[in-house]
Amino acid sequence: MATTETNWYGVKMLFRIVAEGRPTERGPDYDPKSTLVEERVILFQATSPEDAIQQAEEEAREYCGLELVNGYGQTIRTRFLEALDAYELPCGTQPSRRCEVYSSTRVVPRSVTDETVVNRLMGPTERGRNKRRKFADGEIMTAAFSSAASADTDEANSARGTTGPCDE
C-alpha cells in the first residue's frame, strides 16, 4: 500500500475584525471608526500547497465562528478576507524551535524609508494607547487587568514591607 508523503506548510490568512453594537462606555482608547486586520500564520501538515490551503480555509471558517463580547459590551465578529498564502517548510523540515514557518518578500524602491516599510507591513504603533482593546474578549481583558493590578499591589506591598491578603 502506497503512503502519501506529507510536508509542513505555514499558511498565512487575513481576517478583518469588527466591533458591532452600541458601546456601554467609551474609554480614551475607544475608536468607533476602527477595525482590526489580523494576519494569522498556522502550521498544517499536508500533501501539497493546495491541500494546506484547503485545510486553512476550514480553519478560517472555524475561527470566524467565534463570537466574543469586548469590554465595551459590543459583539466582536471576525470575517475571513479569502486571502491565503502557503509556504512549504524547507526540505521536509519538522517544526521546532527557531524553525521558519512562513516567509514572504516584496520588492521595494530604495527611496522608501525603513519606517514607511514597517508602517505599511506591520501598521503604525501608537505609544501609550491601546486601540486594540476594543477587539479583545471582555472577560479575558478584565481578568488580565485585575491580575496586573493585583501584581502591582503585591509588588508595592512587598517594597513597603507590608503583606497582601494571601500572606500571614
Where are the strands (E) in the chain, listed by range? 7-20, 36-46, 68-69, 75-88
User: Which of the pair, 106 or 158, is modelled with greater confidence?
Assistant: 106
Say what the pTM is: 0.71
Backbone dihedral region of 98: left (phi > 0), alpha (psi from -120 to 50 degrees) or beta? left
C-alpha cell recorded at residue 71: 469590554
166 pLDDT band, cuts 50/70/90, is very low
Residue 159 pLDDT greater than 60, yes or no: no
Q: Please classify residue 46 by burial: count the beta carbons closer than 10 Å to its beta carbon, then call 0-12 exposed, 13-18 middle and 19+ buried.
A: buried
Interval 94-122: pLDDT, tens: 888 888 888 888 888 889 988 888 888 87
**Domain ranges (residues) in the chain:** 7-90+130-158
For residue 131, CA distances in Å to 30, 31, 42 come to 6, 7, 25
- Tell me, what amino acid is at 128? G
* Residue 54 clears pLDDT 60, i.e. is over it: yes
Position 51 scores a pLDDT of: 97
Closest CA to 86 of 14, 11, 15: 11
